[in-house]
Each structure stands twice: as structure tokens, then as C-alpha cells.
Copies of this chain bind each other. A is one copy, B any other.
Amino acid sequence: MILGQVVGTVVSTRKDSGLSGLKLLVVRELDDAMKPTGHLVVSADAVGAGRDEVVLVAAGSSARLTEATKDKPVDSVIVGIVDLVQEHGKSVYDKSVHQQSATSGAAS
């Protein structure tokens, strides 16, 4: 899986019937300093993720193993909303802190 941040949404009216009802989110991949890597992915949302949230994204055939995406033509799915990332014993991302301060630059 990769770590990503939800930055937006995609609306598509004319689409394969297998995408019907799926929420499609624009996700920026993050590195281990929680900075964008420059890589972008559009992921189906299996967990109700919201804007600016840091999420776990599964790719490939594994993206079809959530209830929402079973047998769908989907190669990327958000499988978790991240609360905490710790590296070398220190917190590099804490959702409760991030919601108050760190997102202010990116989101508002």
C-alpha cells in the first residue's frame, strides 16, 4: 500500500457500468516525510475518506478485494484512513494534530 492524501474528487457521467455508485477521489502519494512524491492516483473510496485526510491506498488486483470494489474495473482503492504514522519511534503524522494545523496550508 502507499500513503496518500485526498486532495479532490473526480466526476464522470459517462463511464463503465462497473464504476456506478463508486466515489472516486484524487489522491497524492506521500513520502516518509509526509510530503507529496508528485505521483497522483484516482482511487475508489471504500472507507468514506474526506478531503485532506491521509489514507492507505491498495493497488492492482488487491483493489478489487473490498466489498465496494468486488469485480469492478478498479485498480486503486482507499482501504484505510490513517490516524498515526510513526517512524523511528517518533510521530511523523498524527491526524488529530494535522487537522488543526498542518492542513491549513494545503486545504484552506
Contact = CB atoms under 8 A, between A and B. Distances in A.
Given A12-B80, A58-B73, A65-B72, A87 B26 contact: yes
Contacts of A65: 18, 64, 71-74
A42 B56 contact: yes
A11 B88 contact: no
Contact-residue size bin, chain A (C-beta under 8 Å from the other chain) = 35 or more
B88 A75 contact: no
Nearest to A46: B16
Contacts of A71: 65
A30 to B, nearest CB: 8
B64 A16 contact: no
Given A10-B84, A17-B67, A31-B40, 10 more contacts: A8-B85, A8-B88, A8-B92, A12-B83, A16-B67, A16-B79, A26-B32, A51-B89, A60-B61, A88-B107
